[in-house]
Amino acid sequence: MRTFLIAGNWKMNAGPSEAGKLAKEIAGTWKGKTFSSEALICPPFVSIAAVSKEFEGTQFKVGAQNVHTEDNGAYTGEISTSMLKDANCEYVIVGHSERREYFHETSELVAQKGKKVIDDGLKAIVCVGEVLEERKAGKHEDVVKEQVNAVLDLLDGDVSDQFVIAYEPVWAIGTGETATPEQAQEMHKFIRSLLTEKFGDDISQKIRILYGGSMKPENSEELLSQTDVDGGLIGGASLKADSFSKIIEISESI
Ligand code: PGA
């Protein structure tokens, strides 16, 4: 019942010229073919227009990697939800571990951003995940519970169409190390139980939970085959048209 979401997070890579070329290549690999998964690219802010232009008339969607909680005003360097809507974005990633770590975003701020995105009619991909020491200490579920519940506390009603969670174990991001399919499923199932506690079974079954952390064509089939894994948030492998397209193709075969 849940449609796979295959989302690329380009992070701070690809300015407008390079991003346009890469988007064209990605769209080109699906020329004349359709897919039933949802596919999304989140480029840097300055490259959103270039990517959006190349994706016109295709099934590919565009999103952003961050957003501010205010509508406009004296917030130098920030971008608002209305600007992202105007720029054709449908999704916004919030609370990526790199923002939590390097830009000191707290669970509370991430929750406010997630709520703002949803209130303003966009779709939020809220990232959660533990660091290696927390997993080694057996605290991974506690950490993820705190991060997930911070957002759930601010949400109400059926948000299933606008709310996506991405479980990204920090130790697996950009390291080449992936959670095993069993570790991923265990955490995704735990996250779904938190969603069920908050929203009840009907709504929780509709909310997508993505896995992120060194997902690539070679490991995506096993990960995406897990019951509660509803897609991927893909960094490195989304910067290569063939790898990203291959992951979409694999999702189609599951
Ligand atoms: P990665 O990044 O696929 O390069 O590990 C994933 C992410 O940070 O979203």
- Catalytic residue ranges: 96, 168
Please choose from 102, 171, 210, 234 the residue to mutate so as to test ligand 1's pocket, defined by most ligand atoms within 8 A of CB.
Answer: 234
- Indicate if ligand 1 lies below 6 Å from the C-beta of 236: yes
pLDDT(177) > 90: no
pLDDT, residue 85, reads 98
Burial of residue 189, with CB atoms counted within 10 A of its CB: 0-12 exposed, 13-18 middle, 19 or more buried = middle
Q: Which residues pair with 93 in a beta bridge?
A: 125
Residue 253 pLDDT greater than 90, yes or no: yes
177 lines ligand 1 (CB under 6 A): no
Predicted confidence (pLDDT) at residue 176 exceeds the cutoff of 90 = no
Ligand 1: centre distance to CA 170 (Å): 9
pTM over 0.95: yes
**Cα–Cα distance, 127 to 98 (Å, whole number):** 10
Distance from Cα 179 to the centre of ligand 1, integer Å:
12
At 23-46, the pLDDT tens digits run: 999 999 999 999 999 999 999 999
Task: Residue 165: give its domain's CATH number.
Answer: 3.20.20.70
> Residue 130's pLDDT band (boundaries 50, 70, 90)?
very high
CA of 223 to the centre of ligand 1 (A): 14
Distance 11 CA to ligand 1 centre (A): 9
- Binning the chain into helix, strand and coil, the percentages to the nearest 5 are 45, 15, 40
State if residue 215 touches ligand 1 by the CB under 6 angstroms criterion.
Answer: yes
Separation of 253 CA from ligand 1 center, angstroms? 23
**Number of independent structural domains in the chain:** 1
Cβ–ligand 1 contact at 232 (below 6 Å): no
What does 81-150 look like in DSSP terms, one character per residue? HHHHHHTT--EEEE--HHHHHHS---HHHHHHHHHHHHHTT-EEEEEE---HHHHHTT-HHHHHHHHHHH
Those residues whose C-beta lies under 8 Å from the C-beta of residue 35, and which sit 6 or more positions away, are 59, 248, 249, 251, 252
Instruction: Show the tokens assigned to 121.
Output: 């009619």
Q: Report whether residue 174 contacts ligand 1, using a CB cutoff of 6 Å.
A: yes
Give the residue numbers spanning the domain of 54: 5-253
Residue 177 is classified by DSSP as -
Q: Terminus-to-terminus CA distance in the chain, angstroms? A: 13
With a 6 Å cutoff on the Cβ, whether 168 touches ligand 1 is yes
